Amino acid sequence: MKDVVLFVLLGLGGGAVIAGISMAVVITYRGSGIINLATGAIAMVSAYGFWALKTGYFHVTFGTVPAAIVTMAAAILVGVLSEMLVFRPLRTSSPLAKLVASLGILLILQATMLLWFGSASKSIPSVFPKDIVEVFGESMPEYGFWMAGVVVLIALALVALFRWTRFGLATRAAAENEVFGMLAGLSPNRLSMANTVLASAVAGAMGIVAAPLAQADSTTLVFFIVPALAAALFAGFSSLWIACLAGFGIGIGRSLMAWVVTLDWFPTDRGNPIPGTQALLTFVLLVFALSLRGASLPSRGELVEKRLPFAPAPRRLAAPAAGLAAVGAALLIVLPYGYRQALMLSLVGIVVCLSLVVITGFVGQVSLAQVSLAGASGFVLSHMVVRAGIGFPWGPLIGSLAGVVVGLIVGISALRVRGPSLAVVTLAGVVAIEQFGFANRRWGAGVSGSPVEQPRLFGFSIGSDAGFRGLDDKLPSPVLGFVYLVVVIALCLLVAQIRRSVLGQQMLAVRANERAAAAAGIHVARVKIIAYAISSFIAGTAGWMYAYNFGSVSAARFGILIALGFVAFAYIGGITMVSGAVIGGLVATEGLVPYFFEELLHISGNWTLLVGGILVIFTLIQNPEGVAGTTYRKRQAAKRAKAAAGVEHESGRPLAAGGDGHHAITEVGS
């Protein structure tokens, strides 16, 4: 029992940081409806700033209080700039667009800090005493109590602010119903800005409060966002108190888990503690909370109903497919090997994006776990090849089916969950699966990866080492690219056909309004499960394609940033359209477009992160519905204008702008 108490107390420090960031997340969501993935990154900026000011990095050494004030001001400035330059232009966009934009901010902040301060971590000067207290005969640092005390005080102040001030009342009113808030004279933009300032201040404070136990580096505080989001979800993104308590609870739970893994009965991985238990704990707690609360999780009342972009049904399939096949095959042969490899990565990226088109674009389920499903497939393939000698085509097929099994588990678990809740729980799932599943050396492959032999068919290699090497006679062989091209075209046709089918219409009906769909006789659960199965199969296909492409699978391939990155690529391309998936694949990491710019501009490393983050935001603002969606709209508008001009010419009278065609498309696609 004394060990339990000891580790509960030891968890206070980490819990305090989670609680603080979680409250900042809740404040942002209440103020503007944004799930800001960059909240932890703001704490990181604050930590770097406080370190720099206290240590004379800028050739001026500040005292603790002035340094804290300047640091908080910098954190608030980051928040204000994010609001003005990113979130306000996207105010009428879907929540997913804002989520992706916040990922762009995260990347920009992370890259900026790395470029400015380097990759070495910095020791943040502590603002708390470094005394030791004795607990059950064990020495433990006192700072955990101080940190917990400060965060509880912040929570008290915030609760009082929101309960007893006009600002708090206005924020709560707007969060409940933005329309009524507007009628009462409240400005959504001003409320959003005020809450952003407050959230940034709280997040910034966490960068300073965390000093005794965290360093200023580019990852630690940034990825506190995952448990913080879990705590916010416990609180339904509305209650600051519950978010605070849940944050402490998660921190304490993680501390206890560090002790539990040392107990004799706890299973081990080759003598070492099983990795990922703390991430798994967070995920399990989250699923448990959702099973209790389920659909009762509140959504924010919005002035503008923000839906995913429209999803038009493709009219022609054969011609685009033939064109893609011809162009793709030609490029695979004639491109230099670097571009050839980039094209092959783009083909795999297209498949991942296609899986997101089905589950998110068609059904509206914001699942971030697609790369985990791909990972399940890749690891199954690796084990099939290495341990059972089962290669192409059965290994990949079994891999894809493994993706379906995992996807169905996710899908069935998530039947009652939707919107931001699903995004958060699947994000926690990605972390848990990566750390507990893939990084485990027994059933995963550890960090460095597990090899996968190149595919062979009828004794001939069809992998990257095949004899035909393209015009430049270099590796990788275009033959593997041809295989990928066939798979991509087949899956594009499949997804396009789904959109044109009755099932596709049912999916869109579910996406638009589940109750209305059910009232229309659509079996919502069945449609969702079918969608999960199809998208999981597609994601699983991407998994074995990755495995063959790299000749290996590794946990890092299927981690949180990759998962978020693909949602960004898919959204930027156009998450509701097959053509959007193609564009998403082209801009995917080290795909054809990034490779071209890297070769052109000679940028790499952290500069790539910075430029990538800026481009994500810029593209989103320019194309809130994705590049494919915007292009489609423009093309339709041009057609309507042309048609209108024709009618006008025939009838001799002008037509009203914004013809019915647009609405017809929107209704079908929404």
Partner 1 sequence: MQRTTKFAAGMRRRGLTSLLVVGVLVAASCGGDDDDASTDTGSDSTTAPVDDTTAPSDDTTAPADTTAPSDDTTAPSADTTSPSDGTTTPEEVEGKVTDFAAYVGGSGPADDSLEPIKIGYFNQQGGAVEVTHTNIDGVNEAVQYVNEEAGGIGGHPLEVVTCYVANAEEEGQQCGQQFANDDSIVAVISGPTFIGTESFYAALAGSKPVIHGVSVSPADTVQETAAVLFGGAKYILAPYATFARDVLGTTSAALIYPEGAGQDEGAEGQASAFEAAGIPIEVVSYPADTPDLTVPLIAAGAQDVDLVMPVINPNDCVKFEQAIQQLEIPDEKVLASPICINADVATELGDLPQWHYAVASSLSIDPSDPSVPPYTDILTAHGNESMIGDPWILVGFGQAMTLAKFLNAVGPDDLTPDAIVEQLKAFEGPLILGSPVLDCGKYPDAPGVCNDYTQFYKYNGADAGWELAGDFVPPPEGWVP
Restricted to residues 472-501, the positions that interact with partner 1 (CB under 8 A) are 474-476
Q: Is 39 in the site for partner 1 (CB under 8 A)?
A: no
Residues from 539 through 568 that contact partner 1 (CB under 8 A): 549-552, 554-557
CA distances from 166 to 26, 80, 172 (A): 18, 21, 10
Q: Is 295 in the site for partner 1 (CB under 8 A)?
A: no
Residues from 368 through 387 that contact partner 1 (CB under 8 A): none
Q: Measured at the alpha carbon of residue 470, what is the angle toward residues 466 and 474, in degrees to the nearest 5?
A: 70
Q: 1, 59, 65, 120: which one contacts partner 1 (CB under 8 A)?
A: 120
CA torsion sign, 163 to 166 to 171 to 172?
A: positive
Q: 335, 345, 406, 479: which one contacts partner 1 (CB under 8 A)?
A: 345
Q: 59, 262, 318, 319: which one contacts partner 1 (CB under 8 A)?
A: 262
Q: Is 597 in the site for partner 1 (CB under 8 A)?
A: no
Contact stretch for partner 1 (CB under 8 A) within 7-15, 154-162, 169-177, 364-372 = 7-15
Q: Closest distance between partner 1 and the C-beta of residue 215, in Å?
A: 5
Token pair belonging to 446: 């550890």
**CB of 320 or CB of 396, closer to partner 1:** 396
Closest to 410 (Cα-Cα) out of 441, 445, 351, 366: 366
CA torsion sign, 288 to 294 to 300 to 306?
A: positive
Closest to 239 (Cα-Cα) out of 22, 21, 15: 22
Token pair belonging to 238: 């509305």
Q: Closest distance between partner 1 and the C-beta of residue 370, in Å?
A: 17
Q: 122, 418, 499, 528: which one contacts partner 1 (CB under 8 A)?
A: 122
Torsion of the alpha carbons at 567, 568, 573 and 577, rounded to the nearest 10: 20
What one-character-per-residue DSSP string does 142-171 give? SHHHHHHHHHHHHHHHHHHHHHHSHHHHHH
Token pair belonging to 325: 């096949």
HEC letters along 284-331: HHHHHHHHHHHHHCCCCCCCCCCCCCCCCCCCCCHHHHHHHHHHHHHH
Q: 82, 220, 365, 579: which one contacts partner 1 (CB under 8 A)?
A: 220
Q: 449, 478, 580, 584: which one contacts partner 1 (CB under 8 A)?
A: 449
Q: Is 258 in the site for partner 1 (CB under 8 A)?
A: yes
Q: Is 176 in the site for partner 1 (CB under 8 A)?
A: no
Q: Which residue has the tokens 């890297």?
A: 598
Q: Is 439 in the site for partner 1 (CB under 8 A)?
A: yes
Q: How many residues bind partner 1 (CB under 8 A)?
A: 84
Coil, strand or helix: which one is 457? strand
**CB of 164 or CB of 443, closer to partner 1:** 443
Q: Is 614 in the site for partner 1 (CB under 8 A)?
A: no
**CB of 555 or CB of 572, closer to partner 1:** 555
Contact stretch for partner 1 (CB under 8 A) within 10-18, 155-163, 177-185, 363-371 = 10-18
Contact stretch for partner 1 (CB under 8 A) within 149-157, 166-174, 254-262, 311-319 = 254-262
Q: Closest distance between partner 1 and the C-beta of residue 116, in Å?
A: 13
Name the helix (H) or strand (E) containing 196.
Answer: helix 188-209
Q: Is 624 in the site for partner 1 (CB under 8 A)?
A: no
Q: Cα separation of 92 and 370, whole Å?
A: 26
Phi-psi region of 312 (alpha: psi -120 to 50; beta: other; left: phi over 0): beta
- Residue 223 carries which DSSP code? G
Q: Closest distance between partner 1 and the C-beta of residue 554, in Å?
A: 6
Site string for partner 1, 397-436 (x = CB under 8 A): -------------------------------------xx-
Q: What counts of helices (H) and strands (E) characterise the chain?
A: 26, 10
**CB of 121 or CB of 666, closer to partner 1:** 121
Q: Is 219 in the site for partner 1 (CB under 8 A)?
A: yes
Q: Closest distance between partner 1 and the C-beta of residue 438, in Å?
A: 9
Phi-psi region of 455 (alpha: psi -120 to 50; beta: other; left: phi over 0): beta
What one-character-per-residue DSSP string does 616-663 give? HHHHHHH-TTHHHHHHHHHHHHHHHHHHHHHHHHHHSSPPPSS-HHHH
Q: Closest distance between partner 1 and the C-beta of residue 455, in Å?
A: 13
Cβ atoms of 191 and 184 within 8 Å: the answer is no
Q: Is 213 in the site for partner 1 (CB under 8 A)?
A: yes
Q: Is 446 in the site for partner 1 (CB under 8 A)?
A: yes
Residues from 304 through 343 that contact partner 1 (CB under 8 A): 337-338, 341
